[in-house]
Amino acid sequence: MRIGRSFILLAAAVLLVGGCTAAEAEDDPRRPPRSIAELSTAEIQSRWWSWAASSRPATNPMSDPDGRFCADNQPADAWYLAMPLGGKAERRCAIPQGRPVVFPVINFTGTKDECAAKLAGAEGKVMLDSTHVEGVERMEPTAIRIKGVEGNPVTQKAGTVETYGCGLWVRLGPVPGGTGTLTVDGTAGSLSLSVTYKLEVDKGKV
């Protein structure tokens, strides 16, 4: 069974909540869990970058050649996907049922001015099978904290680094069971990144 259109509707849920009453939002199945939907852009970026910095290049989700590391170091309340360090990648990933999904279309770290300059020309597109996914968030430069291990490809050192993060992001609510192809393309100036995930929602995992 394919994931289908219900997956698409989840992508815009964080945008829809602002126009709902509290009761309507609570009953809306498209709405990601409050812990994810209501996290600030600083929290979303700090958490994702810390996940990306939690392993060295050989087993890092950004340099993952085929998806074999997609389950490594995942948090209990979300499931993160990664763009490649450069160019294109094709990966397979099994996502536990009921887990919201968070990923960047294209993202950056640096000084506030560096981040703003890179983000100014950023564009992105997200497709599930042949359907366009709505709800891409433009996260302006904001102060973040990245906690990493020694030799990680993000900060290159162990400990916590304070910097600025920005980019185009998507946060989805829990997706229904099935399979689907998620294609993410991001560009900014001469930088072009693309990843295709063959997704499977695993009802046996939570």
Dump the DSSP string for the chain: -B--HHHHHHTTHHHHGGGS-HHHHHH-TTSPPHHHHTS-HHHHHHHHHHHHTSS-GGG-TTT-SSSTTTTTT--SS-EE----SSEEEEEEEEEETT--EEEEEEEEEE-HHHHHHHHHTEEEEEEETTEEPP--EEEEEEEEEEEE-TT-TTTSSSEEEEEEEEEEEEEE-PPPSEEEEEEEEEEETTEEEEEEEEEEEETT--
159: alpha, beta or left, given left = phi > 0 and alpha = psi -120 to 50? Answer: left
Q: In this structure, what token pair is assigned to residue 60?
A: 């890092």
Domain boundaries defined on the chain: 5-202
Predicted confidence (pLDDT) at residue 47 exceeds the cutoff of 70: yes
Percent of residues, the chain, with pLDDT higher than 70: 81
Task: Give the tens place of pLDDT for each residue, 1-21.
Answer: 555 544 433 334 443 333 343
pTM of the model: 0.83
pLDDT, mean of residues 105-111: 97
Average confidence score pLDDT of the chain: 84
Residue 201, amino acid: V
At residue 176 the predicted structure's pLDDT band, cuts being 50, 70 and 90, is low
Q: How far apart are CA 136 and CA 103, in angstroms?
A: 10
Q: In this structure, what token pair is assigned to residue 172?
A: 């989805």
Could you identify the residue written with the tokens 């990648």?
A: 89
At residue 34 the predicted structure's pLDDT band, cuts being 50, 70 and 90, is low
Task: List the Cα angle 193/197/199 in 5-degree steps.
Answer: 160
